[in-house]
C-alpha cells in the first residue's frame, strides 16, 4: 500500500488519504485546545480562590478599595501565557462574605478552523471571614483623663476608641454559630467592679457611714496676722493632669511681708451638713505579697473604698454574648466625673482583664483554661494612650501619685511598669493571648512595656492616629477570625 501511495501519479490515493486523515487531525487539535481550556480554567479558579481569601483578609471595608485589592492581587498572580485579557468582573461584599468573579480569554490554535478563535474562561469564589469555635476576649481599655485629648482631625481619643472597640465587637459577634463572649474593663487609676458585688467574698468593703457635723462654736481669740506688702505678678501657665496640659494661672504669691500684729477675732468651728461616705464600686489592689499580680490566693480580698464621691469610672462588664450590652457599655465610657479626672494605673485594668478570663472568682463566667488556648481561645486587648502615672501603696492597696522628687518618682514608676509586665507574664503562662495597642503614645518606655506585654510582634500595634487605631482593632478582629472558602 505504501509502495502504491508513493508510486501513484493520478492523486486519487492521496486525496483519499487526506479525506480520511483530516477529521483525525482536527479531533487531535480540538483535544489539544480543550486540554488548554481545562488547564486555564483550573488556573483561573486557583487565582479566584486566592483573590477571594486576600480580599476577605483585607482590613478595608469599602467595595472600591476591596476591588483594588482584588485587581492588584490578580494582576500579580495569574499566568499571562495561559489566559489573556484577564479582569476582575465583580467584587461583592455582604456582611463577612466576599464574592470575587474573574473573566478571561483563551486564544485557540486548531479550533480557529471552526471559527472559534478564542474561548471565554470564567471563575468565581466566595470567601467568608468569621469567628469559629469558642472565643473569650477581655477588652482592657484606657479611660483616663488623657483620653480627652484630640487628634489632628479634632476627634477626641475616647471617641475614636469607642468607634474602634464597637466595630471590633460587631465583627467578632457577626457569626451567630460561633461561641464568642466578650468582657469590658474600663480602667483609669482604679477599676469599678460594680456595687452589686459588695457582699462577694472576694471583696472587703467597709460599711457606709455618715459623719455628723460638730456643733458650731464661736469664740473670741487673739489672732496673729502677717500682712503681705507685695505680691508676685500673676501670669498664664500650663499645668498637667495625667499628661494633659491645662490652662492655669500661676504667680500671685506674697514676696514681701510686713510686721506681724495681733488682734482679737471671732473664730468659729463646726457646723455644716452631714458628710456621707459611700461605696461606689471602686477597688484597689490586693496588699498581701505579690497577690496583686495574679488571680491566685482567692482568700486574699480586694479592698473597696468608701468615699464622699465617686472616684472610679464605669463598672466592669463580665463576659457576655449580648452584643447590645457590650455596645451600650462601650458607647457609655467616660473619662471623668465632675472634677474627678483620673490618672493612669495600667496594672489595675490588666489584672481585672485576667480575672474576667479566669474560671475561679472574682468572676465565674469564663471556661476552664485550655493548654492549647483553642477551646476556648482566650485573649486580652490592652489599650493605653500613655505611660503609668501612679504607684502601688502596700499599706492600703491604693494607687497614689508619684513622688515630687524626680529620682524617687523614677524608681516608683519603674516598679509600676514591672508590675504591669509581671501580670502580662502571668497571663501568658496561662496561654492567654495579649494584643497591646499604643494609641498616640510618644513615650519610649511606655511603648516598650506594651511591646513586652504583647504575645509577639504581630500582637503589638502602634496607632499614631484615629485611622490607625481603627486599623489596629480591625487587625485584632482578623487575627481572631478564620478566613475560609465557602465556594
- What is the rounded average pLDDT for all residues in the chain? 87
Question: pTM for the full model?
Answer: 0.74
Which residues, in sequence order, are CB contacts of 323 under 8 Å at separation 6+? 169, 170, 173
Answer whether residue 484 shows pLDDT above 90.
no
In contact, 424 and 350? CB cutoff 8 Å: yes
d(CA 425, CA 429): 6
The residue-averaged pLDDT of 8-32 equals: 59
Residue 119 gets the label, from left (phi > 0), alpha (psi -120 to 50) or beta, of: beta
Res 312: pLDDT = 95
> Can you point out the beta strands (E) in 108-189?
118-130, 134-142, 179-187
Tell me what percent of the residues of the chain surpass a pLDDT of 90.
61
Answer whether residue 445 shows pLDDT above 80.
yes
d(CA 458, CA 451): 10
The residue-averaged pLDDT of 359-379 equals: 89
3-state secondary structure of 402: coil
Query: How confident is the model over 332-355, as pLDDT tens digits?
Result: 999 999 999 999 999 999 999 999
Res 92: pLDDT = 82
CA dihedral 285, 286, 289, 291 (to 10 degrees): -100
Burial group, residue 469, by CB count within 10 angstroms (0-12, 13-18, 19+): buried
Write out the three cell numbers for 159: 471617641
At residue 60 the predicted structure's pLDDT band, cuts being 50, 70 and 90, is low
The lowest-confidence range among 88-97, 214-223, 370-379, 459-468 is: 88-97
Q: Which of 326, 335, 341, 338 is nearest to 384 (CA)?
A: 335
The lowest-confidence range among 38-47, 73-82, 111-120, 438-447 is: 111-120
d(CA 42, CA 45): 5
Show the domains of the chain with their CATH numbers.
2-130 (no CATH), 134-210+275-485 (3.40.50.410), 213-269 (no CATH)
Amino acid at each position: 500500500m505504501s509502495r502504491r501511495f508513493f508510486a501513484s501519479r493520478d492523486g486519487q490515493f492521496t486525496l483519499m488519504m487526506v479525506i480520511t486523515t483530516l477529521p483525525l487531525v482536527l479531533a487531535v487539535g480540538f483535544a489539544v485546545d480543550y486540554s488548554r481550556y481545562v488547564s486555564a480554567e483550573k488556573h483561573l479558579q486557583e487565582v479566584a480562590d486566592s483573590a477571594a481569601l486576600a480580599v476577605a483578609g483585607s482590613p478595608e471595608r469599602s467595595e472600591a478599595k476591596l476591588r483594588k485589592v482584588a485587581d492588584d492581587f490578580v494582576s500579580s498572580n495569574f499566568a499571562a501565557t495561559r489566559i489573556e485579557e484577564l479582569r476582575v468582573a465583580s467584587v461583592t461584599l455582604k456582611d463577612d462574605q466576599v464574592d470575587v468573579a474573574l473573566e478571561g480569554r483563551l486564544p485557540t490554535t486548531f479550533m480557529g478552523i471552526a471559527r472559534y478563535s478564542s474561548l471565554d474562561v470564567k471563575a468565581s469564589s466566595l470567601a467568608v471571614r468569621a469567628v469559629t469555635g469558642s472565643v473569650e476576649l477581655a477588652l482592657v481599655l484606657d479611660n483616663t483623663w488623657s483620653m480627652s485629648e484630640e487628634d489632628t482631625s479634632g476627634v477626641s481619643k475616647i471617641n475614636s476608641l469607642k468607634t474602634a472597640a464597637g466595630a471590633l465587637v460587631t465583627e467578632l459577634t457577626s457569626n451567630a454559630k460561633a461561641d464568642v463572649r466578650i468582657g469590658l474593663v474600663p480602667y483609669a487609676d482604679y477599676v469599678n467592679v460594680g456595687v452589686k458585688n459588695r457582699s462577694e467574698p472576694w471583696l472587703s468593703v467597709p460599711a457606709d457611714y455618715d459623719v455628723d457635723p460638730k456643733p458650731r462654736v464661736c469664740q473670741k481669740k487673739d489672732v496673729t496676722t502677717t500682712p503681705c506688702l507685695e505680691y508676685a505678678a500673676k501670669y498664664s501657665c500650663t499645668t498637667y493632669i495625667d499628661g494633659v496640659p491645662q490652662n492655669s494661672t500661676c504667680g500671685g504669691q506674697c514676696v514681701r511681708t510686713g510686721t506681724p500684729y495681733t488682734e482679737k477675732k471671732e473664730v468659729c468651728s463646726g457646723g455644716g451638713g452631714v458628710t456621707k461616705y459611700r461605696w461606689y464600686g471602686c477597688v484597689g489592689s490586693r496588699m498581701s505579697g505579690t497577690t496583686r499580680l495574679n488571680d491566685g490566693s482567692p482568700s486574699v480580698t480586694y479592698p473597696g473604698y468608701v468615699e464622699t464621691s465617686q472616684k472610679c469610672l464605669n463598672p466592669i462588664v463580665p463576659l457576655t454574648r449580648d452584643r447590645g450590652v457590650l455596645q451600650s457599655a462601650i458607647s457609655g465610657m467616660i473619662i471623668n466625673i465632675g472634677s474627678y479626672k483620673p490618672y493612669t494605673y495600667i496594672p489595675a485594668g490588666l489584672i481585672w482583664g485576667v480575672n474576667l478570663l479566669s474560671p475561679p472568682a472574682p468572676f465565674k463566667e469564663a471556661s476552664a483554661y485550655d493548654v492549647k488556648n483553642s477551646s476556648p481561645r482566650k485573649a486580652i486587648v490592652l489599650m493605653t494612650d500613655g505611660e503609668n502615672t501612679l504607684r502601688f501603696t502596700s499599706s492600703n492597696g491604693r494607687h497614689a501619685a508619684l513622688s515630687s522628687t524626680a529620682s524617687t518618682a523614677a524608681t516608683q514608676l519603674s516598679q509600676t511598669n514591672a508590675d504591669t509586665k509581671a501580670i502580662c507574664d502571668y497571663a501568658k503562662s496561662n496561654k492567654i493571648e495579649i494584643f497591646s495597642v499604643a494609641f498616640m503614645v510618644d513615650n519610649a518606655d511606655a511603648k516598650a512595656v506594651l511591646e513586652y506585654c504583647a504575645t509577639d510582634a504581630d500582637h503589638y500595634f502602634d496607632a499614631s492616629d484615629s485611622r490607625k487605631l481603627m486599623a489596629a482593632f480591625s487587625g485584632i478582629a482578623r487575627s481572631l477570625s478564620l478566613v475560609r472558602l465557602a465556594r
